[in-house]
Amino acid sequence: MKFIVSTTSLLRNLQLVNGVVNTNTVLPILEDFLFVIEKNKLTISGTDLETSIATTMEIESKANGKVAIPAKILVEYLKTLPEQPLTISIDDESFAVEITTDRGKYKLNGETGSDFPRIPAADNVEELTLSTAVLQKAINKTIFAVSNDELRPQMTGVYFQLNNEGITFVATDAHKLVKYKRTDVQAVSSTSFIVPKKALTLLKSILPSEDTQVKISYNSSNAFFKYNNVSLICRLIDAKYPDYNAVIPTENPNQLNLNRADILNTLRRVMIFSNKTTHQVILKINGNQLNVQAQDLDFSNEANEILDCQYSGADMEIGFNAKFLSEMLSAMDNEEVKLELSTPTRAGILLPTETESGEDLLMLVMPVMLSV
């Protein structure tokens, strides 16, 4: 089996797949790319058994076949080459790979493609289509709130909730929660599933900057994301997502309006002086003035900043984890934000004062007990 391909084009496609390839001592073939050649098309796949990425490109070839080629050495080698045509030959019996350039010849050991794990096929699926811009935005606004606690697997992914009113993306780690809804996209039937954090992190890294359409297909066990010539397939988390609506307080009479950049920069400064374990800051709201304080008793560190604000409600003193608040504010992109509060022991609701047509965003952060 032999084919000719451009170095730049091959490297670009390999780098799309390379993020899913891991070192695996139990199944060494998972450290390989699977090359499948059929009718002058090369499909390159990689998998870690939970998530798979595949991409297809045009090549020159007279034969069909498949081979598994070590990923690390191939990518490292191609990075050193200038743009030129490569001739890659594979021995049909030993699966030895020979790469020929205009100046050299390189050999490495491949493996039979038949031993490569099977990539799940999109059987009995339902579908919807999102633009890359919407999908990127949904991932950016939720992924930071996903839990890393493997004892609660249902919270280690983003919850997709689909119906004829729109699609809602939810993430929570029990300390913070994000609910991002799009009403400009509808699903044919109501359903829900949980997409693992790793799969969404990989998807975010490979989505193109130019706006295109992503087809999302899903069944009871897998989700399939496809755009242009690239596919990402991931196994869904088989667990029931918690009732997130039950933790969102509905009565929040105290409302604080702030410039997002101002409060974010203040938190970043003040947090440096906070306890390194709790990252606790205290918000003291009095009239139209917000006092942001932090203290680390172990090192006698202290910080205090005052911000102008618009506030309606009773004077209040409430503690939050500054790291969580900063993450949430960083994931927002509007100029003004609103913090809705009820009591110092109940969750605060962070909202944008303005949103784009077709979107709705709510972020929740739990307070921390005041220790100063």
45 with 94, same domain: the answer is yes
The amino acid occupying position 54 is A
Q: Are residues 133 and 82 located together in one domain of the fold?
A: no
CA–CA separation, 5 and 29 (whole Å): 23
Q: Please, which contacts does 35-39 make with residues 24 or more away whose CB atoms are closer than 8 Å?
A: 35/66, 35/67, 35/68, 35/69, 35/90, 35/113, 36/65, 36/66, 36/113, 37/1, 37/3, 37/61, 37/63, 37/64, 37/65, 37/66, 38/64, 39/64
**What does the pLDDT read at residue 371?**
52
Q: Is residue 121 part of a domain?
A: no
pLDDT given at position 214: 97
Whether 370 maps to a domain, the answer reads no
Identify the domain boundary among 191, 221, 245. Answer: 245
Does some domain include residue 327? Answer: yes
Of the candidates 148, 201, 194, the residue with the CA atom closest to the CA atom of residue 173: 148
CATH number at 12 reads: 3.10.150.10
Final residue before a domain boundary, out of 115, 139, 169: 115
CA distances from 241 to 123, 164, 192, 205 (A): 24, 20, 9, 26
Question: Are 259 and 241 in a shared domain?
Answer: no
Question: What is the Cα–Cα distance from 35 to 75, expressed in whole angstroms?
Answer: 14
Question: In this structure, are 348 and 331 located in the same domain?
Answer: yes
> Are residues 151 and 179 part of one domain?
yes
How many Å separate Cα 336 from the centre of its chain?
25
Note the pLDDT of residue 355. 82
Question: Is 261 in the same domain as 207?
Answer: no
Angle at 325 between CA 324 and CA 326, to 5 degrees: 90
Would 151 be classed as within a structural domain? yes
Running DSSP on this structure, what letter comes out for residue 331?
H
345: helix, strand or coil: coil
Closest residue by Cα to residue 292 from 259, 319, 311, 314: 319
Same domain as 225, residue 130: yes
Range of the domain at 189: 126-245
State how many domains the chain has: 3
Question: What whole-number distance in Å separates Cα of residue 58 and Cα of residue 229?
Answer: 10
pLDDT per residue as tens, the chain (372 positions): 999 999 999 999 999 999 999 887 789 999 999 999 999 999 999 999 999 999 999 999 988 999 999 999 999 999 999 999 999 999 999 999 999 998 899 999 999 999 999 999 989 999 999 999 999 999 999 999 999 999 999 999 999 999 989 999 999 999 999 999 999 888 888 999 999 999 999 999 999 999 999 999 999 999 999 999 999 999 999 999 999 999 999 999 999 999 999 999 999 999 999 999 999 999 999 989 999 999 998 899 999 999 999 999 999 999 999 999 999 999 999 999 999 999 999 999 999 998 888 899 999 999 998 754
Domain assignment present for residue 371? The answer is no
Residue 120 lies in a domain: no
Q: What is the CA radius of gyration of the chain?
A: 25
Is the same domain home to 172 and 255?
no
On whether residue 270 sits in a domain, the answer given is: yes
**Same-domain pairing of 139 and 231:** yes
The answer on 235 and 147 residing in a single domain is yes
Nearest residue to 329 via CA among 271, 259, 282, 277: 259
Task: Write down which residue in 245, 279, 304 finishes a domain.
Answer: 245
Residues 71 and 136 in one domain: no
157 and 240 part of one domain: yes
> Which amino acid makes up residue 251?
E
